[in-house]
Structure 1
Amino acid sequence: MYLHHVAAYLPEAVVTNAHFTRLNGLASEWIIERTGIQERRKAAPGENTNTMAVAASRAALAATPAFAPEQVDLIVVGTYTPHDTIFTAAHAVQRDLGVNEIPTVSISSACSSLLNAVEIVEGYFAMGKATHAVVVVSEHNTAYNNEEDTMAGHLWGDGAAALLISKERLTPDDLRIAEVITGGAAPVSKADESVTLKPVERGIVMPFGRDVFQQACIYMARVTQTLLDKHRIPAPELTYLIPHQANLRISKNVTKQLGIDPARAVSNIERLGNTGCAGAAIGLAEVWHKLRGGDKVIITVFGGGYSYGAMLLEK
């Protein structure tokens, strides 16, 4: 199957580290040293996971005439920050497109939802139940975040991205989705409590950030190396590595383990903060127009609950 286009949506409001210095006394230098984050985006009043998902899908479809809205026969949306758990973001995208009576699926696999969503598309395509899919990842972290939490309140940003995926190649510029690997490591260490979002309690909390850091470095490097080995790609020949945008130190650790030039790791966490399952897709949108024939890209992700995965794209 093929990735035809990807586009992102980001709210206009920018929240700098100075906000958390005023609120909690956290120095900007301290935040940058530990996370790499300098600023993040915040959804405006009236914006939410659904509106951002719609905006991203509109942007993706508007950019290409080869993938018409009326051709869409599958919608899959990933998020762990829903605006509504009944009329989901996937339903909001379907209603906006006006395409009736097609499979419409919302999933939540923490920050690995992007790749799980692509796997769902892979299954529908294999069964002959769809040929043109819209995958959207959208997070409204600030709706749930407790900014006064000095451990994790400064990490989160909002944003969305949409991918147009077809069973057959539509144009010579499409990227082939060579393989997707996903897994779950929930039995490992503190997977059940390291990152939680409990709306009736304190929102998004991360009491065991060090454990998340360690496991993310292990699993993102391992699953990426699996793809490199299986497809016989020497690490230096990888055009881009797009890691989950959780912490700049994680990205640097993973590239070091793999022997990949840090300059080839796509990073937006400095400007956007942790945008959850949307982060890597936003990163892909940012380098989309730089890709050339022969390029190879791996997206690698890790999320709360210790879900993980990697996807190989070939130009």
Structure 2
Amino acid sequence: MYINTISHYFPSQVIGNEYFTQLNNLSTEWIAERTGIYERRKAGEGENTSTMAIAAVDLLLENIPYSKNEIDLIVGATYTPYDTIVTLAHAVQHHIQIPDIPVLSLSTACSSFLNAIEIVEGYFAMGKASKALVVVSDHNTAYYNEMDTVSGHLWGDGASALLISKERQTATDMVIKKLITGGAATSGKAVEAVVLRPNDKGVVMPFGRDVFQNACVYMPKVSQQVLQACGLTIDDLDYLIPHQANHRISLNVINTLGIPVEKLISNIQYLGNTGSAGCAIALSENRDKFKKGENIVITVFGGGYSYGAMLITI
């Protein structure tokens, strides 16, 4: 599979750590030390998961290498939907006006991005599609409790969009070499560590330490697996983009893998935890720095303890 082009969108409203100092007495230094976050983006009035996704798609279509009418599959990924009936993917289909193609949305917490691409892989393998639009968007601040001193200061909003084709379209396509995903809901406190129950009180994280510990096990493990499956080693890796949940987790992952910090790509410092959109946004933000032949691993870990890794070669 090939990533033909990629885009990202995040809201203009910036929320610094000082906001939470005034709100619930958490100091800027305390938040930064424990999370790596200094500021985050928050959707403004009239913005939601679907509108952010559409904004990312509009940016994507400015650089599309073929007619948009050749898109024959749309997959949306989010765990913070604006509408659970008119899903993210259907809102995007309505916006770009491509009728009568497969359209679906999925949620596997912060792993939703890679699972969406895996859905595309399946459609391609079955011959049901050849050019897919993947849209990932999370509006975390619509669901969070900002007064929560455990996780209220973590969240940010944003979206990303990608065009993925079965066959190469341009010389600058990024190649998806391997994708591995899994579920570890049998581990630790997977089904209670971090939850979003709309009928209750939004996002809560009663067992953050368990999330941290399991993320630090599964992300390096699956990163090694995806490299080994392609006959590569850590020495062949040029960049790692981990799920943007906590900068201390990212540092722990590269330490476990023996990767220098120069190979770590991170945006949590200025975007916060943008959920399943975080890695896609980071890939888009850094697209121009990547050089031909470089290997990039994206690795994710989400609530319910879903996990995965994808190897991309430029």
Cα deviation, 1:218-265, whole Å, max 9, x if unaligned, reads 000000011122223231331210000000001001001111111111
Q: Which SS does the other structure have where 1:305 is aligned?
A: helix
TM-superposed deviation, 1:289: 1.0
Separation in 2, partners of 1:261, 1:3: 27
Aligned to 2:238: 239
Paired residues for 1:52-201 under 5 Å = 52-64=52-64, 66-201=65-200
Separation in 2, partners of 1:232, 1:180: 14
Aligned AA for 2:75? V
Aligned AA for 1:106? S
TM-superposed deviation, 1:61: 1.6
Instruction: Among all aligned residue pairs of Structure 1 and Structure 2, give the percentage whose two residues are the same amino acid.
Output: 59
Aligned to 1:272: 271
Aligned AA for 2:74? I
Separation in 2, partners of 1:107, 1:33: 33
Aligned AA for 2:261? P
Structure 1 residue runs of 4 or more that deviate by more than 6 Å after TM superposition: none
Cα deviation, 1:90-133, whole Å, max 9, x if unaligned, reads 00110111000000010000000011000000010111111110
Cα deviation, 1:68-95, whole Å, max 9, x if unaligned, reads 2111110001000000000011001101
Aligned AA for 2:4? H
Aligned AA for 1:54? I
The question of whether the paired residues in 2 share the 8 Å contact of 1:236 and 1:261 is answered with no
Aligned AA for 2:25? G
Aligned AA for 2:67? A
Separation in 2, partners of 1:173, 1:264: 21
Aligned to 1:293: 292
- Tell me how many residue pairs correspond in the alignment: 314
Normalising by structure 1, we get a TM-score of: 0.98
Aligned to 1:262: 261
Structure 2: runs of 5+ lacking an equivalent: none
Q: Which SS does the other structure have where 2:19 is aligned?
A: helix
Separation in 2, partners of 1:267, 1:291: 15
The question of whether the paired residues in 1 share the 8 Å contact of 2:178 and 2:230 is answered with no
Cα deviation, 1:164-208, whole Å, max 9, x if unaligned, reads 100110001101111100000001110010011112221101010
Separation in 2, partners of 1:140, 1:67: 30
Aligned AA for 2:166? K
Q: Which SS does the other structure have where 2:89 is aligned?
A: helix
Q: CA RMSD in A?
A: 0.8
Q: Which SS does the other structure have where 1:220 is aligned?
A: helix
Separation in 1, partners of 2:263, 2:67: 33
Cα deviation, 1:12-58, whole Å, max 9, x if unaligned, reads 00000000000000001000010000000000110000001111111
